[in-house]
Structure 1
Amino acid sequence: MYFAALLARTEDGWEASDTELDDVETLSDLADLAREASPDEDTVLVLIEQEDGWFGVVRVDGEDDPRIYVSDASAAVRSSYGEILLDELLGRETGNDGTDLDALDLDGTEDGEPDDDADDDAGGAEPATGAAESTVPHGPVGDPEILDDLGVSEKELRAMSEDALTEIAEALGASEVLETVR
């Protein structure tokens, strides 16, 4: 089960809104959604969690490039929302249909498919066992200092697990507004 929320910092404090990610296919889509939540170009945090799996934070400050942190890349890679974040963090390219283009060889075969021109002495390629997953590191990826100036240190962020979004909201002084959209 997923939960996603936007926290926008305003003059009056943090405002939270529940967000639907069904139409989000890229990080650009997600950043645009965040920017729409704050027309004054204030800081907006997109908080995403998959219950007992992983959490992610995307920070958008005005027109600056989004900053991203994912708590467990190996868990997030199995999630469509996690893949959106990881594609950017790991520099992977995807096609219009969501296909991992980096898993394709230049000759058009997928990693692990035997190349017909391969030397028989090479023994052929090993079968692919989750090519996308094999290139993903275990553990956190991204910018661990994403929330430092907001009161959540790198050490605190890395230590968070099951109830991370609530812990982040508490540190920001936004726990009540986050709970209203949960």
Structure 2
Amino acid sequence: MGKFYHLFMIGLFCMLITSCMQSDAEETGKHQEGTVILDEKTIQLFNEGKVRGIPFPLHQFPIKQVTERWGKPDEQVDHEDIQVYIYKKGGQKVSFTVDETNTVNYYQIIMNMSLEEVNQKLGSRYDIKPTTHRTLTYPMGRYELRVRRIPDDQVIMYLNDPIN
């Protein structure tokens, strides 16, 4: 009887711990982890052409700035004239697309959010204009935030300066 009681208590304790861990994960949410967190401060900075958590300009800067600050990329993809430097930061991937002059043309952030969650934070579908390839464009002052749905409940986001 004593062994049964101890096994029962251990099982109950394990279930309680598992339940607490799951509720903590749901409350904090996997969607708020990473280099870029989509909150009010980040959205305000989009209007200024800045991305909180990414200390680099929107485009047209040497990749050397990134490698000096963030070190060697976690991955590098060679597309002959175009190189893609991929850094994994806080559970997110930040990729820098570089031309033959070693200049970054743009960077993208893969975020663990659904397109619906992005819309909740950035505005309704009526405030956005659909573009090609299942990409939605949100006006952010003189800039545009482009968001594209990818598999596994993720989106790719990048801030664009339509003037340049």
TM-score, structure 2 as length reference: 0.29
Tell me which protein shows more strand as a share of its residues. 2
TM-score, normalization: structure 1? 0.27
Q: Which has the higher contact order (CA 8 A, sep 6+)?
A: 1
Structure index of larger Rg: 2
